[in-house]
Amino acid sequence: MQISAKINNKKSKVTNRIFHHIKGNYSGATIVFFAGIHGNETAGVSALNSVLKTLNEKGICGEIYGVYGNIKALQENKRFLDSDLNRMWTLKQLNAIKQKEDRNNEEQEQEELFLFINQLLESTQNPIYFIDLHTTSSKSLPFITINDALINRKFSSCFPVPVVLGIEEYLDGPLLSYLNTLGYLSLGFESGQHTDPLAIKNCEAFIYLALRHAGHLKINNFKKHEDELKKASRDISSIFEVIYKYHIEQKEMFLMESGFESFQDIKKETLLATSNGKNIYSDYSAKLFMPLYQKSGNDGFFIIKPIPRFFLKLSELLRKVKADSLLTLLPGISWHNKSLGVLKANLSVTRFMAKSIFHLFGYRNKQLDKTHLLLYNRERVSKNKMYQNEQWY
């Protein structure tokens, strides 16, 4: 795999980060594929090289980008060198980086990606799709991860793979969460295990389908790509929700038990891992998700469960009529920033309220301090009008 060399000029670096750019002969949306945000996840780069080099701009609508994530980490085949580039996309971090003169490797990478994103947003009024391509350290079905906004749900439903939402409650600073706060459609596609050749094939099939559903090209044999993903995902296309994450602390000796894979059914009290020699058992009868089988990263494992279709339909209805305004009538709930769709919850009053109530209205929480939670709603900032004329909407 060829990774671009270092270039001094910032603008040149941004250009160098774009390893594919196709501008079609017809107007249309812009789609951006990020690959290699984690440097040991190269399937996305390989798949984009394989698919995009075959396309002819004469039959393309809009623009297609293939963008390197962490170039230096890709060169060394490491998840990251100094800090995880996919855990840095918070407003606090982005503001802090502007003030820093001595930036680490990932901060330099982030600055260039940030510049690319801003230049892109300023250059077009057409719909923009952001897609982040990943693989996992464990065996896994291909799947999609999204922040819980309806535009993300709708577009994700075009693909015959499982969809996992709610992960933003458990991770700080993923790139896609940042893009969602700006209101744009964004999703992650995990194509399989890092070293599995099938992960590249799954990613290629997904890219073809994404280009078709976003209106960039017409594919007569798209069913072939759908069938490939159906087979790889074992015909599982449910929507799941993250209900638990095991977080690995600094200097903790975490070791996952061998043989687990994503979407595997587990029973309560199943031995999952050890921490400093102490056994870790599951508190749930559910499905295991993304067990960690690599040295880097602090997400030990997740637990997920399917979301009933009735709940999904009800939440869609409530969000369309903006029924979340009623939440401020509840004790302990007030607006923190109404324009950005952020509520503030006083834990001394609301600690016994079920998370599912807030999830129904599109809110996911983040701890502000020991006494308060901030609840973020992607729906209020979603650029629905931008996508309302797209064929899947």
pLDDT on residue 133 = 98
Give the strand pairing for 239-247 and 372-377: unpaired
Q: Residues with Cβ < 8 Å from 367, sequence gap 6 or more?
A: 373, 374
Residue 104 exposed, middle or buried by CB count within 10 Å (0-12, 13-18, 19+): middle
> What domains are defined for the chain?
10-237 (3.40.630.10), 240-306 (2.40.50), 323-376 (no CATH)
Question: pLDDT by residue for the chain (393 residues), tens digit each?
Answer: 444 333 345 566 777 899 999 999 999 999 999 999 999 999 999 999 999 999 988 889 999 999 999 999 999 999 999 999 999 999 889 998 888 889 999 999 999 999 999 999 999 999 999 999 999 999 999 999 999 999 999 999 999 999 999 998 999 899 999 999 999 999 999 999 999 999 999 999 999 999 999 999 987 789 999 999 999 999 999 999 999 999 999 999 999 999 999 999 999 999 999 999 999 999 999 999 999 999 999 999 999 999 999 999 999 999 999 899 899 999 999 999 988 889 999 998 987 777 888 999 999 888 788 899 999 998 989 999 999 999 999
